[in-house]
Structures are given as structure tokens and as C-alpha cells.
Amino acid sequence: MIDFEALAKEYGTPLYVYDFDYMSAQYTELKEAFRGRKSIIAYAVKANANLSVVRHFAKLGSGADCVSIGEVRRAFLAGIPAYKIIFSGVGKSDDEIREALERDILYINVESEAELQRVEVIAQELCKAARISIRVNPNIDPQTHPYIATGLHDNKFGVDLSSAKRMYIQAKNSKYLDPVGIHFHIGSQLTQLQPIREAAEIVADLVRSLQAIDIELKFFDVGGGLGIQYDNEETIKPYDYAQAILGTLRGLDLTILCEPGRFLTANAGYFVTKVLYEKQNGEKKFVIVDGAMNDLLRPSLYNAYHKIEAITENKGPLQKVDIVGPVCESGDFFAKDYLLPELHRNDLLVIHSAGAYGFGMGSNYNTRGRSAEVAVENGEARVIRKRECFEDLICLEQEFLVD
């Protein structure tokens, strides 16, 4: 049990708290699920890019899935070896591609024919053969929120099967391209096994048809997306997930690459915020807290549900409240019509499942400094990112002030 009151007292609020032991347990469970096959769990850095978080996964043997060169640099800084780092994303710039090739990472996940051409040109300039994987869009409905569905033809990710095949042939015929993997990622917060199985089946069939024309791949990259419990939803067990994927690979000798983000960190994280005021507007009761959408955007952005726990002396009857922050936007809320006991000034609210897409989606909107981040490991707490102060927010502007 984490003592949120003690942490709030010591480090102030709003505050992100991460349970590193929980992250370890999640990592180990997933790694174990693929036992019997070669596998690399490549942590999706964008879920929680804090250097100490990435270092924690590095120490467990994890690789990293990065979607910008900044994330690649973080992965290196955190001690993830180059041969376990992959670089994905629809819009890589020339500079990013060049640096990724210079750093000799495991492979670049290519998302379009135009990008394949750029990678080839840059690899030629560097006199290298670029290891690549192609992101296939298997046109499967992942049955998740439309904003986080990525495996349908009407969204921007990956290429269709026939383009992929063409691209593999082109890569095979190029001195500067080395096709080593195949990749798909159909969406995030997946809670149904069937779409994953179907996608894997389609992609495995493509691997077989490539084999038939002498293109031998090494890595079968199943993306991330494993869902977690925010509320009471049924989730996929890592063992069943692994079995569903492995079941599609009969006769294929491939290393599994898996890119979980949310699964590893979401439920390890808590966002702790303090009650400032309660206020009644007509029928509506608002609880105004010191954290806001600039700290944790998911409710505002996706109308996402987060469980909220009140730490209060008051055990009285529950009331329906909207929990809102100080930012000047009607969309600045953590929950609407949420049942909580009556609260007093300085009571704490602990927002659960905040370890993924929490801090990283934060901003300085309204000139608010971002929260501190604290890790809890073996019962000990330590700061892993300082609270931002006003000077941090203005330092890139101040020198340009003119009379």
C-alpha cells in the first residue's frame, strides 16, 4: 500500500506516483507468457518517457519502441542497448532517419513507400544497409476507441498488404535496405482477443508468401495495445495473448517483438491532487482540485474514465460531483457525475491508472508547471522528475524580451 498522504506532504501536489514493483511484475508476466520462443519486449516509451522509468525497464532486459528521435535518445540514455531499440511512426524526418541509422538500432518500422525511399537514400549516403520492418495495416477493427484504433484502412498508419509485398521486394533488391521484420499495431487498449488473432493470422500469411519468394524475415512485431482495467472491463490475459499470437506462427521461426506501453505502466501510476474548493452551481456540484487537464489530459481528450479515490476523514453519504481543475476550459475535468463523499479543503483525490499517457501528454497550458514525479520501489520513495517552476517555463523566451 502506498501512503499517498505522506507522499503529498513530502513532495507537494499535484503529484505523479509510480509503483516500480508493479511495473516489474507486469513486465515479467508478459515476458513469461512468450516463454519457449525468442522474444523481445520493447517498452513503448511514449506511454511514460521518464528516464528513470525507461531505465527501470532497461534493467529488466526490456527493449524500447520509440516514435521520435527524442525517444530513441532517451532509450540510449536510459541504458537500453541499440540492438533492442526500434523506431516507429508515420512521419520520420530525414534527420531522424539518419540518426537512427548512425546509432545502428535494431530496425526502423517503415510506414509508407515514400518513407522506404527516403530510408534507402539516406542509408546509401551513409554507405549502410538499413535494417527495416514494414508496418502492415491488416484492416482489422480492433473494437476500441476510434481515437486509438490504428489498424483500419481509414486511418493513417501502415500500408496495405499488396503495397507491403511490393515494398519487401523492392527492399530485397536494394543494396541499402535489409528487410528483417514485419510489424502491425491495430490499436490501443485492446480487450478482445479475436481482432489480434485475425491480424496476426493475416500478417503471418504474408510472411509465408514472402518466404515463398525467398524473403526471410526474423522479427514478427505484434505492436502493443494490450488493454488494462480502468474500470471493470474484462481484459486479455498475457498468457492468452501470447498463445493467440504463437498459434498463428506454425512452422515459422521468428523472434516475437512486442511493444506494450499502457500494459506495463498505466496501473502502476497514480495522480494525486488536492481539493481546493467545493462549489454548487444550481443542480451541479463541483469539486475543484489543484491538478488539471494540463497534468492529465485523457479525460478531456478521450472522455476517458479513471477511477478516483478520495482520502478523507469523512465517511458520510455519497454525492454526485464533477471533479474539475483550475484551467480556463470547460473541458478541464477528471470526472463527471462521480460519486464521492463530501470533501473538505486539503483532502486528497488519487486518480488511478495514470501511469501511461499521463505526464507525457501534459503541457504548460495556463503557464502551469508540470507536476513532480515520484517512484516507489521496495517501499522507498524517490523523486524522478522535479516539479517545474516558473523559471523553467520562461527560460526559452526571457532572453528575447525587448523594451
Ligand X SMILES: *Cc1c(COP(=O)(O)O)cnc(C)c1O
> What residues are labeled active site?
328
Neighbours of 348 (CB within 10 A): 21
Which residue, among 76, 195, 178, 176, has the nearest Cα to 126 in the 3D structure? 176
Closest contact distance (angstroms) between CB of 276 and ligand X is 32
Closest contact distance (angstroms) between CB of 40 and ligand X is 13
Stretch touching ligand X by CB under 6 A, among 40-48, 56-64, 167-175, 270-278: 40-48
92 touches ligand X (CB under 6 A) = no
- C-beta of 338 vs 357, nearer to ligand X: 357
Closest contact distance (angstroms) between CB of 401 and ligand X is 39
Stretch touching ligand X by CB under 6 A, among 76-84, 201-209, 255-263, 345-353: 255-263
69 touches ligand X (CB under 6 A) = no
Closest contact distance (angstroms) between CB of 369 and ligand X is 26
263 touches ligand X (CB under 6 A) = yes
Could you say which of 39, 48, 50, 88 contacts ligand X (CB under 6 A)?
A: 88
Site for ligand X in 335-364 (CB under 6 A): 356
- C-beta of 262 vs 368, nearer to ligand X: 262
Could you say which of 120, 259, 347, 373 contacts ligand X (CB under 6 A)?
A: 259
d(CA 20, CA 132): 32
Closest contact distance (angstroms) between CB of 185 and ligand X is 4
- C-beta of 268 vs 327, nearer to ligand X: 268
Bridge partners (DSSP) of residue 275 are 289
Could you say which of 40, 47, 72, 199 contacts ligand X (CB under 6 A)?
A: 47
Q: Alpha carbon of 344 to those of 276, 278, 279, 317: distances in Å?
A: 8, 8, 11, 14
- C-beta of 14 vs 224, nearer to ligand X: 224
Retrieve residue 310's grid coordinates. Answer: 478520495
Could you say which of 44, 106, 244, 354 contacts ligand X (CB under 6 A)?
A: 44
Site for ligand X in 148-207 (CB under 6 A): 185, 188
Size of the site for ligand X (CB under 6 A): 18
d(CA 108, CA 86): 6
Could you say which of 46, 56, 98, 306 contacts ligand X (CB under 6 A)?
A: 46
Closest contact distance (angstroms) between CB of 45 and ligand X is 9
d(CA 26, CA 215): 35
Closest contact distance (angstroms) between CB of 116 and ligand X is 17
- C-beta of 42 vs 171, nearer to ligand X: 42
Could you say which of 181, 261, 299, 325 contacts ligand X (CB under 6 A)?
A: 261
Site for ligand X in 218-247 (CB under 6 A): 223-226
Retrieve residue 182's grid coordinates. Answer: 514485419
List contacts with ligand X (CB under 6 A): 44, 46-47, 65, 67, 88, 185, 188, 223-226, 259-263, 356
